[in-house]
Amino acid sequence: MRGVVMYAPRDVRVEERADPVIEQPTDAVIRVAAACICGSDLWPYRGADPVERPTPMGHEYVGIVEQVGDDVKNVKVGDFVVGSFFASDNTCEICRAGYQSHCVHREPMGALGTQAELLRIPLADGTLVATPRPPRPEEIPGLLAASDVLGTGWFAAVAAEAGPGKTVAVVGDGAVGLLGVLAAKQLGAERIIAMSRHADRQELARRFGATDVVEERGDEGVAKIRELTDGLGAHSTIEAVGTQESMMQAIRATRAGGHVGYVGVSHDVALPGLELFFSGVHLHGGPAPVRQFLPELIRLILDGEIDPGAVFDLTLPLEKAAEGYRAMDERLATKVLLTL
Amino acid sequence: MRGVVMYAPRDVRVEERADPVIEQPTDAVIRVAAACICGSDLWPYRGADPVERPTPMGHEYVGIVEQVGDDVKNVKVGDFVVGSFFASDNTCEICRAGYQSHCVHREPMGALGTQAELLRIPLADGTLVATPRPPRPEEIPGLLAASDVLGTGWFAAVAAEAGPGKTVAVVGDGAVGLLGVLAAKQLGAERIIAMSRHADRQELARRFGATDVVEERGDEGVAKIRELTDGLGAHSTIEAVGTQESMMQAIRATRAGGHVGYVGVSHDVALPGLELFFSGVHLHGGPAPVRQFLPELIRLILDGEIDPGAVFDLTLPLEKAAEGYRAMDERLATKVLLTL
């Protein structure tokens, strides 16, 4: 099969890879219908994470079940399925508490490389959710978004306790931040302040439900959020970047007793204990337990209530993946969908 | 009046200080019935916090109202009152959300020095809670504990979401940690693991409701907690020390999706972003909004349902405060009560 492999920073190739096979009776193999490039794929692309060997890329996917292992009961050949970036059994105590991304048997899908024609899914019964009907082509981008960026933005909004009566600030205007705006809106937030200095992203943020846009960053951005909230700060802040600056911006933009939901993968972050202590905020985040939200997200998408697929502003065939990485690196695209 | 003043590390004196007077119409002046020495008073005593000038000491207090300003409506002369270590108006938006320790008009009582015969209370209407009846002498230590260590341990247990079905780990066996055990028990926790290596404190922890005691610290302590919780970690962890080691011990002892309630005042703590991210815990803490809990705590104490006064294991007259500081510094006492 064809698949995307990163050889080194800025060296992304599409090449022949071995077809995956059922290895465990709990596995399935799916034919990928669409995959995409994630903001987190840019860390190794830019050299911020090491690329120690040629690495199959991608951790987001939707597709059609092609084979199932003997123990698989919940999905069958021909089902259209959505999964998350961690395979999970969905039965352990941690999964039952809603934290499937920390499942005691979890396996990172990124290690398998979902930007490929075929994909082995470990723990298929726990990992995959079949759509109640085959999706129409225009619904596929939204379902693909659910696999990570929507599920992650949704978790951030839940972790930030976005809801009725709340003012929600969103740090980061990538796909996750933008879908955090959408999630906050769906969860009933009263006011949603998107922090963005890019006109196209501001526009999408407003379409997803942002009521205000703040262009300032860092301390100036914090001052602006406080100005908009009677000097108190937001009730809820979504952090979707993962740098020291963005984390401190999120914490400082939040009132005492408020909630920061952080989902940007941390890079060189050290939180100063005393400042955190006196901030009085709640802090929760990490790799999103997307599996928890998938049934609801699939329903919202197939009912036409949300259109998260709008974050994809560039669609390319798998063979042109390198072009997609370049476009995201150069901020020419927010999120790239790869068709198969 | 007589009051405690710290001149330098290990130099604590009891001397004449000016009697406080009503400065604002919202002030009250109380005659202190009992005060105490806090674990946090040991930071400057040990030289870990600077002592830049002779500093009146103490931030915990109970007493009888002696004078009130013209605007004070909720307490009257002769009332027995309990307050917290932050004065708060109890009417601003932050107070109404239950975070009185972050009140927009808060004033730290530590700046006034409560280890003294008389004490000015700013924002008396918001700060003070009058007991529904005059306490009996044996109830005074418990009410004094409510002023900080009980209220702080209680907040830590609430922040850690201790409750029915939960396993709660407690890092720190000082007065706050021990009263965190008591709070977790009152909140209905199923299992409470006290981390302590001092026999007398272990005994008090068990009396307050601890079901298990772990003597190991650091990574070994974490391993022990995981061993006791099917490898998953505690649902809820109370952190009541404030060092890098204790914070990491608390985070690592907690399962993904679990809650860490931290109330030890941070000293040289920097939380590594990536480890926190992948821990998946909730983190909440800071200066406890004791005022939120005071009415309920006073009720529990006067009804005899809890006996937090048991943390005081040394009682001295105010004049012997220096001896009290020494006893706590040398761990000869867990918590020292000063009589007036």
Write out pLDDT tens, residues A209-240. Answer: 999 999 999 999 999 999 999 999 999 999 99
Domain that holds residue B59: 2-148+289-339
Min distance A78 CA to chain B CA atoms (Å) = 34
Listed residues B259, B285, B311: the one ending a domain? B285
- For residue A189, give how far its alpha carbon lies from the nearest alpha carbon of chain B (Å): 17
Q: Which of left, alpha, beta for A228 (phi over 0: left; psi -120 to 50: alpha)?
A: alpha
Instruction: Tell if the CB–CB gap between B93 and A232 is shorter than 8 Å.
Output: yes
Tell me, what's the pLDDT at B20?
98
Residues B274 and B334 in one domain: no
Query: What CA–CA distance (Å, rounded) separates A43 from A40?
Result: 6
Q: What's the CATH number where A260 sits?
A: 3.40.50.720
> How many interchain CB pairs under 8 A, A with B?
119
A contacts of B94 (beta carbons < 8 Å) = 232, 255-257
pLDDT mean across residues, chain B? 97
Q: Do A297 and A273 belong to one domain?
A: no
Q: Which residues of A touch B262 (CB under 8 A)?
A: 277
Whether residues B257 and A230 touch (CB distance < 8 A) is answered with: no
Closest to A94 in 3D by CA, of B281, B171, B225: B281
A293 and A144 part of one domain:
yes
Chain B nearest-CA residue for A103: B256
Beta carbons of B273 and A272 less than 8 Å apart: no
* Furthest-apart CA atoms within chain B: distance in Å: 60
Please tell me the total count of domains within chain B: 2
Residue B23 shares a structural domain with residue B48: yes
With cut-offs at 50, 70 and 90, classify the pLDDT of residue A146. very high
Percentage of chain B beyond pLDDT 70 is: 100
Per-residue pLDDT averaged across A243-255, rounded? 98
Orientation angle between helical segments B149-159 and B175-186, nearest 10 degrees: 50
Specify the pLDDT at position B190.
98
Looking at residue B216, its pLDDT comes to 96
Query: Are A232 and B256 inside 8 Å of each other by CB?
Result: no
Shared domain for B91 and B166, answered yes or no, is no
Q: B121 and B114 in contact (C-beta within 8 Å)?
A: no
> Checking DSSP bridges between strand B2-8 and strand B11-16, what pairing results, if any?
antiparallel
| Distance (Å, whole) CA B61 – CA B83 | 7
Phi, psi values for residue A292, rounded to 5°: -60, -35
The per-residue pLDDT for A29 is 98
pLDDT score recorded for residue B103? 98
Which of the four pLDDT bands, split at 50, 70 and 90, describes residue B6?
Answer: very high
- Taking contacts as CB-CB distances below 8 angstroms, the residues of chain A near B98 are 257
Q: Find the residue in B nearest to A102 (Cα).
A: B256
B271 to A268: CB separation less than 8 angstroms, yes or no: no
Q: What is the pLDDT of residue B281?
A: 98
Percent residues over pLDDT 90 in chain A: 99
Name the residue in chain A with its Cα closest to that of B231. A104
Indicate whether B75 and B188 sit together in one domain.
Answer: no
Closest by Cβ to A286, choosing from B265, B278, B289 = B278
Tell me whether residues B284 and A281 touch, CB distance under 8 A: yes
Specify the pLDDT at position A38: 93
Condensed to tens digits (0 to 9), the pLDDT of residues A272-285 reads 999 999 999 999 99
Asked if B266's CB is within 8 angstroms of A273's CB, the reply is yes
Taking the C-alpha atoms of residue B340 and residue B333, their distance in angstroms, rounded to an integer, is: 19
- Locate A5 and state its tokens: 């492999």
List the single best residue of A260, A276, A292 to mutate versus B (max B Cβ within 10 A): A276
Average pLDDT over residues B272-293: 98
Full DSSP string of B33-86: EEEEE-GGGHHHHTTSS---S-EE-----EEEEEEE-TT--S--TT-EEE--SE
pLDDT at A151: 98
Contacts of B93 in chain A (CB under 8 A): 230, 232
Domain boundary among B285, B302, B318: B285
Reported in sequence order, the residue ranges of chain B that DSSP labels E, i.e. its strands, are 2-8, 11-16, 28-37, 55-56, 62-68, 80-82, 86-87, 107-108, 118-121, 129-130, 167-171, 191-195, 212-214, 234-239, 254-262, 270-272, 282-285, 314-317, 336-339
The rounded distance, in Å, linking the Cα atoms of A71 and A80 is 19
Tokens of A155: 């978790």
Domain check: are A217 and A238 in the same one? Answer: yes
pLDDT at residue number A85: 97
Q: What is the pLDDT of residues A83-104, one digit of tens each?
A: 999 999 999 999 999 999 999 9
> Six-digit token pair at B251?
């985070």
Confidence of residue A333 (pLDDT cuts 50, 70, 90): very high
Mutant choice from A236, A247, A277 vs B, greatest count of B C-beta within 10 A: A277
CATH number of domain containing A27: 3.90.180.10
Q: Tell me the chain B residues in contact with residue A244 when contact means C-beta distances shorter than 8 Å.
A: 273
B278/B321 same-domain check: no
> What pLDDT does B218 receive?
93
Point out the residue among B97, B247, B289 whose CB comes nearest to the CB of A273.
Answer: B247
Q: What is the pLDDT of residue A296?
A: 98
Taking contacts as CB-CB distances below 8 angstroms, the residues of chain B near A49 are none
* pLDDT band, very low/low/confident/very high, at A311 (cuts 50, 70, 90): very high
What is the arithmetic mean of pLDDT over B135-154? 98
Whether residue A66 is found in the same domain as residue A133: yes
Alpha-carbon distances, residue B260 vs A103, A108, A282, B149, B281 (angstroms): 19, 26, 10, 18, 7
Rg (CA), chain A: 19
Pairing between β-strand A167-171 and β-strand A234-239 as defined by DSSP bridges: parallel
Tens digits of residue pLDDT in B212-257: 999 999 999 999 999 999 999 999 999 999 999 999 999 999 999 9
Whether residues A294 and A279 fall in one domain? no
Closest-CA residue of B relative to A272 is B270
* Close Cβ partners of B252 (under 8 Å, ≥ 6 residues apart): B219, B222, B233, B279
Distance from CA of B305 to the nearest CA of A (A): 29
ipTM of the complex: 0.96
Mutate to test the interface with A, among B230, B252, B262, B274 (most CBs of A within 10 A): B274
Cβ-proximal residues to A96 (8 Å cutoff; 6+ apart), any chain? none
Q: Using the beta-carbon criterion (under 8 Å), do B256 and A99 form an inter-chain contact? A: yes
Which of B40, B96, B102, B245 to probe by mutation at the A interface, max A CB count within 10 Å?
B102
Residue B53's pLDDT band, with cuts at 50, 70 and 90, is very high
The closest CB to that of B277, out of A98, A104, A285, belongs to A285
Task: Name chain B contacts of A241, Cβ cutoff 8 Å.
Answer: none
What are the structure tokens assigned to A125, written together? 């019964």
- Hey, are the CB atoms on A282 and B281 less than 8 Å from each other? no
Average pLDDT, chain A: 97
Average pLDDT score over residue span B97-122: 98
Same domain, A184 and A271: yes
Provide, as residue numbers in chain B, all residues whose Cβ is less than 8 Å from the Cβ of A274: 265-267, 269
The C-alpha torsion from B144 through B147 and B151 to B152, rounded to 10°, is -110
Residue B95 pLDDT: 98
Please tell me the predicted confidence (pLDDT) of residue B34: 98
Contacts of A165 in chain B (CB under 8 A): none
Residue A178 has a pLDDT of 98
- Those residues of chain B whose CB sits closer than 8 Å to some CB in chain A are 93-94, 97-99, 101-102, 104, 230-232, 242, 244, 247, 255-257, 262, 265-274, 276-287, 289
Chain A CB contacts of B287 below 8 Å: 277-278, 280
**A164 lies in the same domain as A144:** no
Per DSSP, helices labelled H in chain A are 42-45, 93-96, 124-127, 140-146, 149-159, 175-186, 199-208, 218-228, 244-252, 273-279, 290-302, 321-329
> Which CB contacts under 8 angstroms, 24+ apart, belong to A63-67?
A63/A30, A63/A31, A63/A32, A63/A33, A63/A34, A63/A119, A64/A30, A64/A31, A64/A33, A65/A28, A65/A29, A65/A30, A65/A128, A65/A130, A66/A28, A66/A29, A66/A30, A66/A31, A66/A118, A67/A22, A67/A28, A67/A29
**pLDDT number for residue A322:** 97
Residues in a beta bridge with B192? B168
With an 8 Å Cβ cutoff, the interface of chain A facing chain B consists of 93-94, 97-99, 101-102, 104, 230-232, 242, 244, 247, 255-257, 262, 265-274, 276-287, 289
